[in-house]
Structure 1
């Protein structure tokens, strides 16, 4: 397997993708509270799936973007491994929502979190019950294939941060 690159596209490309999906599904994000239970959110989340993940992981982007942060949720199978990698575009926050992960021989459970400074390499293994995690990054972890429908000419920008 090639070295895992967690952010092969730019923050702006990820934001364009989210804006396109939000508009397509007519999600109101400026004047009311949006929740995961809103009727049109499920369809939007299907389109916000992320394919740039290691084996044993599924991931989707949430349908909103902060000024310098994008948000993701992932599920991982028991024993799956996230290979050694770094987030070169900025700091990252990973919150364990369910299950557990092992990092540096320490098991983190639901409610625990990891702050990963920009450029610091880390890896982890998923615990025996699998895991659900929430992430906040100042980059976009989606891959080029995930944004093709939302970037006007993806050949120009994809792969350049």
Structure 2
């Protein structure tokens, strides 16, 4: 596999970061939160993720489930290649919000999704219009 390794932190470490973020922001664990509560989330470094393939921007969303799992939004320009890698600590799902990715000679477009089994190696290339994705992992991919 390539030098990219999304398994650099444990799920527990990422959840601890999220708990510290929520405490610092005074968030009630029982309150509903929306993207409008965090208008600066893309500009602040607090939840930004640096362990990503070149050409990607990624943030960890400020919540996790009882499952546990962590949630992300990422984007990249056209034709960025994500090298072969796996998410070893748990399964996940990736949903294309806009643009597309090429996976095994198939183009997944907006509304398309892929389920990732824990430890299953995969790679993809961003399509010609770039991509924005939402994803959730039962691991920490920060």
TM-score above 0.5? yes
Contact 2:6–2:85 (Cα < 8 Å) also in 1: yes
Structure 2 CA distance for aligned equivalents of residues 44 and 21 of structure 1: 12
Q: Which residue of 1 aligns with 2:9?
A: 9
**Secondary structure of 2:35's aligned partner:** coil
Q: Which residue of 1 aligns with 2:133?
A: 133
Q: Secondary structure at the match of 1:3?
A: coil
* Counterpart residue number, 2:58: 59
Query: Unpaired segments of 5 or more residues in structure 1?
Result: 143-161
TM-score in terms of structure 2 length: 0.92
Matches within 5 A, 1:76-155: 76-142=76-142
The structure with the largest helix share of the pair is 1
RMSD, aligned CA = 1.3
Unaligned runs of 5+ in 2: none
Q: Which runs of 4+ in 1 moved over 6 A?
A: none
